Structure 1
Amino acid sequence: MVTRILLSALAALVLCRHGAQSGMIYTLNLEDINVPNTSPLHEAASASFIHIHNGSLRGMENLKVFPNVGRDECAKNCVLNSMCKSFDFDTLNKRCYLFSVDATTNNYVRKNKRREYYQLIPRSGEIIVVKGVSIKKRGRISRFQDISIKQCIARCQQLPGCLMFEYKEEHRRCDLTNIIYTDHNLAPNFYGWDYYSMNDVKIENYFLKVLHGALKGSRFYSSLKDVPVEQCASKCMGESRCKSFEYNTAKKTCYLSVDDASQKKKLWVNYKQEFYQLEKERGVMNMIQGASIPGHDFFPRIKAANLELCLASCRHTPGCRSIEFKESKCDRTNVTHSGHPLKASLWGWNFVEINGAPEENEMASLK
């Protein structure tokens, strides 16, 4: 897979005392750098960045600016700031611009002959996204028209040899490729293509997982027998009508459904089943009725007359990322479904994850 290729390329680079460049990958040795414990790189041996030549994230608010520094020092400053996700380096004036955002969501890399753009590479298992860039003269092994980005991810995982893809959001076009991106340079483009690398992504990470749960009255339209849960997740994510699936761990059978637990239907406890619901896009809240994350009620329980007031309290509580609500009881938590599987609730709790939803549209996002 692409991660093993990437790690083998980086292994030699870690031996370097300072930063080192290999194709579009720039690596900084962290051996002598006191990385803050609030940083995801706290215990890492090195920090790796995707490098975009003649590219910039200009237009974003600077986290911090450092004049008269080299590229290695710029990368070091980014690593030392736990909020830094990317940086621009002005090659002419030797200025360093740190950003608390990157080009993975709503921001795009633009062409700029005076600057170089560097974006931190996430850990293995998280897809790599750089919007506004592509690989020139890439080898395409398959193209799909009129599909969503999640369907494109599923197609790549299902196709043997697919390591990455480029997606054109305007036309919902998906180009799959089997080239090794460590050997090719990315460049800003004017045609609306965005770059994605699978990075050993686990397809089931795109779902909210609920242990011991099944959906009451679920309308199943297909089933797969004697298959791993990853295959079920890939099948569901690749089909526009699939919103969730249930997996029988003993029989290794899954059932794909057009329903989920976000609105009218609710989970019930079933110790033979696991429930998987497709997560919403960033900016839309995730809700599962009849589930909770036990043991993570980080903040004191409060009373709230309705779900909207419970969410408002979470909004005004620093560190609150999700809630569990039942009648007038409101539990606020500092965790999300990522890395914390939910469990079907015997006591009627409902789980809501803010997921970056803007406050003014939070209730609308649940409808």
Structure 2
Amino acid sequence: MQHFVSVFAAYLKETSIKTLKTSFPEHCAQVCLKDKTCKSFNFNKLKERCQLFSKNAEDRTLQSNDCQYDVYYQRIGLKYIFIRGAEIFSSTNLKTYKGVKTLEQCKRKCRLQGYKSMEYMKSENICRITMSSWRESDLIGSARWSYYEML
């Protein structure tokens, strides 16, 4: 699972390229890694189902829900991680900036502070630079936020 970022209580609403019946997300990850077109997958433990996608949450915003069995997995990119519809569940925010009109402005503020992770809410023009990353704290579905991390 080292090649994937997970987002709990979230799923991608998209047409799948493949659906598998399995009890383990690791099996989905193996199949996804073997398929060059696979960028992400949904896994539902209760239904023992995973859906593989050629799109990811860079392209589409995740749907969030209260179902603890839905987990979204996205392949980690080479330079960054960008997930529309996700935020860090419990993070220590270094600084919150208001009036940030674009994701690019938020990225610049993050780099200037010397940090790599941030959350951006376009609808409210809010940028939160965080000391946490998805490696230290779970990501959860949150339609209003986008998570970004420079690698």
TM-score, length-scaled by structure 2:
0.89
| Other-structure match for 1:133 | 86
User: In structure 2, how many angstroms separate the alpha carbons of the residues matched to 1:136 and 1:127?
Assistant: 20
Q: Is the 8 A contact 1:163 1:179 kept in 2?
A: no
Match of 2:29 in 1: 75
Question: Is the counterpart of residue 196 in structure 1 residue 148 in structure 2?
Answer: yes
4+ runs of 1 displaced by more than 4 Å? Answer: none
Question: In the alignment, which residue of structure 1 is the partner of 2:6?
Answer: 51
Query: Where does structure 1 lack aligned partners over 5 or more consecutive residues?
Result: 1-25, 28-47, 200-367
Residues 88/106 of structure 1: CA separation in 2 closer, same or farther (3 Å cut): closer
The code of the aligned residue for 1:83 comes to T
* Partner residue of 1:178 out of 128, 131, 149: 131
Partner SS, residue 71 of structure 2: strand
Post-superposition Cα deviations, 1:156-196, rounded to whole Å, max 9, x if no partner, equal 11113x22110001112111122243111111125x11111
* Structure 1 residues 35-184: aligned runs within 5 Å: 48-57=3-12, 59-68=13-22, 70-111=24-65, 112-123=67-78, 126-147=79-100, 148-160=102-114, 162-184=115-137
Kept after mapping to 2: 8 A contact 1:109/1:133: no
**1:89 CA displacement:** 1.2
Larger Rg: 1
More strand per residue: 2
RMSD across aligned positions (CA):
1.7
Q: TM-score, normalised by structure 1?
A: 0.39
Classify the secondary structure of the residue corresponding to 2:93: coil
Count of aligned pairs: 149
The percentage of counterpart residues that share the same residue type is 25
| Equivalent position amino acid for 1:74 in 2 | C
Residues 108-128 of structure 1 deviation map (CA, whole Å, 9 limit, x = unaligned): 2422433221100011xx221
